[in-house]
Amino acid sequence: MSNNMLEGELGPEFGSFQNLTTLRLSYNYFKGGIPSHLFKLKSLRVLDLSDNTLKGGLSVEVGKLLNLESLILSANFLSGKLPEEIGKLTKLRELLLQNNKFSSGVPSSTANLKNLETLDLSHNSFSMQIPASIGTLPNITAVDLSNNKFTGPIPSSMQNMSKLVILRLHNNKLVGKIPTWLFNFTSLDTLFIGGKGNGLTWNNKAKFIPNYSLKFLSLISCNISGQFPEWISSQKRLIYLDLSQNNIEGRYPDFLIGGKFQIIYLSENKLTGLIPPLLIESANLLVLDLSRNNFYGELPENIGNAKKIGYLSLSENNISGQIPMSIFKIDTLIYPDLSTNRLFGDNLPLFGDKSMLHTLDLSYNNFSGNIPINFPKGIRHLYLCGNKFSGNLPWYWTRLVDLRVLDFHGNNITGKLQDTLPQNQALEALILRNNSLEGYIPSNIYNLTSLRILDLSCNNLTRSLPQEMTNLPIMMETHQIPTLFPTSHSILAIDRDFTYRDLVVTWKKSFQGLAFHNFDTYTLLDVSHNKISGEIPSSLGNLKALKLFNISHNRISGHIPVSFGDLQNIESLDLSHNEISGSIPQSLVKLKQVSVLDLSNNRLTGKIPVGSQMDTMTEFGNNAGLCGMQIGVTCPEDIRPSKEKEKDDEDGKNSWFLWEGTWVGFPFGFFSSIVIMGYFLDFLRLFKLW
C-alpha cells in the first residue's frame, strides 16, 4: 500500500490483521500519531510507515512487537525520546528513524539488539554522547548518526564493529582527536566524519595506510593542515572525496586526476597554482568544487572537453582572462560558478537552447559590454551582479520562462524600466539595485505573480508607486509557499547540496545575504534611493506577507496609511528621508514583528503612538512636530499642572475682579498721565522754561 496517496489517520482496521507479517504504508499522507492497535500485531516482521506526516512520540508499546525485524519510520515528524522498550526487539535487523525530530540520548537498551545490521538515526536532534554500548553490536554493518547534536569523543568501543561498511558521524558536536583505529576496519566502504559544528581534530603527524579501500570519504572541517594526506593516494576505489574547509596547502595533486573520481569537493583550503588541464578531461568527473582557494592563471582552453561535468565551482580564487568559448560544448553542464575572480571580456560564450544549464554565476568579475542575451530557455538562476555590463535590459529575457532569480545589481544598466521590465511569471527574485535605470515602476508589475523579492533601490526611478504593486500574490499570502528551487540535484549523490549564492540585499539597514535554503521565508520590497514621488497607496497594507519594505530617500509625500497596521509580518519598515506629513497612525502599534522602524527626516507631527514594539523604536529624528516618550519630548496634552499652579489659579478665580480692574485701570491711568504731561510741557515752553 506504499505510494498510493492515501491520507487521514491510521484507522483501527489495521489492527485486525493478527497474522500480518509485513505492513508497508510509506509515501502516503497519513497524519496523527502511530495508533496503539498497530502494536497488537504480534506476527509483524516489517513495519514501514516512512515518508508520511505522522507526529507524536514512539510509544513504549513498540516493545510488544517481538518478531519485528524492520522498523522504518523515517521522514515523518515524530519527536520525543526513544523508549527503552525498543531494546526488547531483539530480532531487529533494520532500525531506520532518520529525518524526524527525535531528541535526547540513544537508549542504552540498544545494546540488546545483537542482530541489528543497519542503524540510521540521522537528521534528528539526538544529543548527549554516543553510547559506548553501540560498539557491542556484533552484526552491525551500517551506522548513520549524522546531522544530530551528539557531543563528546567518538567512543572507542566502536572499533569492535568488525563488519562495519558504512560509518557516518558528520555534522554533530563531537570533539577530540580523530582516532587512528578508524583505519583498522577491513570492510569499510564509506567514512563521513567532521562537518559543521564539530570539534574533531586530525592528527597531521600520523603515518598509516588503511586496511580498507574506500569509495566515499568526507573529512569536512577536520583541521587537516599541510600537504594532502598521503594515505588518500592509496584509495584507488574512491569516487567521492570531500576535504573542504581544512587548511590543505600546495598544488592540486596528480593522484586526484583521472581515476574513478566522480565528485571532488576541496573548497575553502589553501591550494594554489594553475587548474590542471588534464583534470578537466577526467572521464568520470561529475562535480568539481575548488572554490575559495588561491588558484590563479587562466581557465584551461580544453575546458570544453569535459565529458560529464555538471557542477563546476571555481569561485573566490584569482583566476583571470576570458572564459574559453569551448565551455558551451559541455552538454552536461548544469551549474558553473566562476564568481569572484578576475575574469573579463565583453563576449560571453553562447549557450544553445539544448544546453542543460540551470544556474550561471559570473558575479563579481570584470565583464563588460552590452548585457548578454545568449542564455538557454531553461535557465533558472542568473547571477551577473558586480560587473560592468551596460545598456538596456533585453526584452529577450522574458522568453526565459523558467527564470526564478535574476540578480543584476551593481552594473551600469540604463534605459527605462517600464520598457524592459521582465515579465517572467516564474520570477521570484528580481534584484536591479545600484544601476542607472530611469523611468518608473510600470503597472504591469502585477504580472510577476511569483515575485517575493524586488530590489530596485539606488536608481533614478520617478513617478509614484503604482497601485498594482499591491496585487503581488506571494506578498499578500501569509502562509508559506514552497519555493520552486531545487536544493540539490541527482549528480550530487550523497548529502551534499548545490551551494547557491545568497541573495545580497539591504536587510534591516545593512547589507546581508539571504540564505538560499530559506529563500521561501523572505518577502522584500525595496525601492529606496530613487526619485519616486506621490503618496503611498493605502492598499499596500494588503501585502500581509511582506517582511521588509523600504521607500527611504525618495520624494514621497502625503500621510502614512492607516492600513500599514495590517502588515502583520513586517520586520523592517523604512520610510525615512521623504516628505511625509501628518501624524503617525495608532495602527502601527499592531506591528508585533517589527524590529526596525525608521520614520526620520520627514514632516511628521503629533504624538508618537505607544504600546507594543512602538515603545522601543527610536528612529524619529528631524520631524520637528513630533513628541513622545520615545524621543524624550513631552507632548502638550501630557503636561500636568503643578499644585502651586493650581493654587494660583484658584486665587485668580477668587479675585478676578481685582485683576480685571488692574488691566482696565492701568491703560486708563497711563494715557491720562500722557495727556496731563503734554499740557504741562506746553506750559513750560510758553514761559521758555523747557
pLDDT tens-place string over residues 252-303: 999 999 889 999 999 999 999 999 999 988 989 999 999 999 999 999 999 9
Closest listed residue to residue 309, CA positions, set 291, 283, 328? 283
Query: Where does 314-391 show beta strands of DSSP type E?
Result: 318-321, 335-337, 342-345, 359-361, 366-370, 381-383, 388-391
Cα–Cα distance for residue pair 583/333, rounded to 1 Å: 57
pLDDT for 544: 94
At 164, the pLDDT band (50, 70, 90 cuts) reads: very high
Which pLDDT belongs to residue 228? 92
Note the pLDDT of residue 653.
44
Contact by Cβ (8 Å): 592, 569:
no
pLDDT at 225: 94
Whether pLDDT at 656 is above 60: no
User: What domains does the chain contain, in order, with CATH numbers?
Assistant: 224-317 (3.80.10.10)
- Look at 175 and 350; give whichever has higher pLDDT: 175
| pLDDT score, position 463 | 97
Closest Cα to residue 74, out of 60, 103, 93, 54? Answer: 54
Q: Is the pLDDT of residue 562 over 90?
A: yes
CA distance 168 to 397: 44
**3-class SS of residue 630:** coil
In 3D space, the residue among 398, 387, 393 whose CA is nearest the CA of residue 345 turns out to be: 387
Phi, psi of 587, rounded to the nearest 5 degrees: -65, -20
Q: Is the pLDDT score of 405 beyond 80? A: yes
Rg (CA), the chain: 36
pLDDT tens, position by position, 55-72: 999 999 999 999 999 999
**pLDDT tens digits, one per residue of 203-232:** 888 788 898 999 999 999 999 999 999 899
- pTM for this structure? 0.86
- Residue carrying C-alpha cell 551528539: 150
Instruction: In whole angstroms, give the CA distance from residue 576 to residue 617.
Output: 13
296-323 residue pLDDT tens: 999 999 998 988 999 999 999 999 999 9
Task: Give the separation between CA 101 and CA 56, rounded to whole angstroms.
Answer: 9
How large is the average pLDDT for residues 465-472?
92
Average pLDDT, the chain: 87
266 within 8 A of 293, measured Cβ to Cβ: yes
Q: Is 342 helix (H, G, I), strand (E, B) or coil?
A: strand
Q: How confident is the model over 27-31, as a mean pLDDT?
A: 89
Phi, psi (degrees; rounded to nearest 5) at 613: -65, -25
Residues 500 and 503: their CA atoms lie apart, in Å, by 9
The per-residue pLDDT for 317 is: 99
| DSSP letter, residue 283 | T
By the 8 A CB rule, do 43 and 66 touch?
Answer: no
Nearest alpha-carbon partner for 548 in 573, 568, 566 = 573
